[in-house]
Amino acid sequence: MHPRFTIHSWHNDGSVNEPWMHPEITDIVREMIRLRYRLIPFLYTLSYLAAERREPIVNPVFSLDDTLHEESDDFLLGHDLLVASV
């Protein structure tokens, strides 16, 4: 869900990790890619606001409420979309 979308990796030993190497989650990865494409206009808008108004693309959850200072992997995309770990 970060603005830079990467679903693969490369290691110093030359091995790679690609989504199609894990057929048990191929359908999940496919749905995440489809979601990503639906979010592209929103992400472009966030990128524009970051460039023009210096608004952050990724925000901490506590930007919603000062009492939410617990450590968490959850974050906001812009000010409107909560990305919560499951």
**What are the pLDDT digits (tens) for 37-78?**
999 999 999 999 999 999 999 988 888 777 777 777 889 999
Domain boundaries, the chain: 9-83
CA distance 72 to 20: 29
Mean of per-residue pLDDT scores for the chain: 85
The residue that leads in pLDDT, 16 or 45, is 45
The structure's pTM equals: 0.71
Residue 83: beta bridge partners? 75
